[in-house]
Structure 1
């Protein structure tokens, strides 16, 4: 999965924005909170990192091609170090779950604002 496919996947999710940060990474956020990072340049180009359920962290990092995410592992983030090992649909499921986890951690006010904005967008 490349950066354009990630953008297309998350385009209709409420509150999603993306921006290049740290010169090398395309960071996807929901209400300002990161839920996925795609490395654009350097030796880790194509690597995708995202949040996972705490109870799945060890299971996932035991799989070939998935490693704890640098600097973010303590918050249950993993990196797909070998994206070619995984189907695009599977990576999409991981990223969508990450979005749901991060969104669930937002305040009730932020979640209500996302729901209202999404409802308005659907009406138009």
Structure 2
């Protein structure tokens, strides 16, 4: 995945906003809270940072092409950075970005979730 594809995918998720900040990184938010970052690569290759569940954090940090996210993981936060952006990993990245969006949106207040039309139970 490249940054254009990353931005297109993140923009397709509900109630998202995009800003370029933190050294020209593509920062995606839901309800004003960050859920994905495209950037911060040390070798000019695309790198993607996202929030994970505790289980996925411990799993991914042991997988080739993933590292605990700089600036996040060293503060005890469960964020991972994908540093291997080969197209074979695009489906996995889309899954983890969607999960990050879900996890961050669940941390919003119930009123904010309702305002944004997120996490609504279907009756």
Q: Do both proteins adopt the same fold according to a TM-score greater than 0.5, normalized to the shorter chain?
A: yes
Q: 2:93 aligns with which of 80, 85, 91?
A: 91
Q: Does the residue aligned with 1:70 lie in a helix, a strand or coil? A: coil
The 1:82/1:41 distance shift into structure 2, 3 A limit, reads closer
Per the alignment, residue 19 of structure 2 pairs with: 19
1:64-99 C-alpha deviation (Å, 9 max, x unpaired): 111000111121000011112742111111101100
Structure 2: runs of 5+ lacking an equivalent: 119-123
User: Does the Cα contact within 8 Å between 1:25 and 1:41 map onto a contact in 2?
Assistant: no
| C-alpha distance in 2 between matches for 1:104 and 1:55 | 17
Match of 2:12, SS? coil
Mapped to 1, the partners of 2:102 and 2:36 lie a distance apart of 11
Correspondence list, 1:29-44, <5 A: 29-39=29-39, 43-44=43-44
Identify the structure with the greater helix proportion.
1
Aligned to 1:114: 116
List structure 1 segments (4+ residues) > 2 angstroms apart after TM superposition: 10-14, 40-45
Unaligned runs of 5+ in 1: 117-124
Structure 1 Cα separation of the partners of residues 13 and 61 of structure 2:
27
Deviates more, 1:81-90 or 1:92-101: 81-90
The CA RMSD measured in Å over matched residues stands at: 2.0
Q: What do the CA deviations read for 1:26-74 (whole angstroms, capped 9, x no partner)?
A: 1000011000000177635410000000122111100011100011112
Contact between 2:41 and 2:47, CA under 8 Å: does it hold in 1? Answer: no
CA distance in 2 between counterparts of 1:114 and 1:36 reads 18
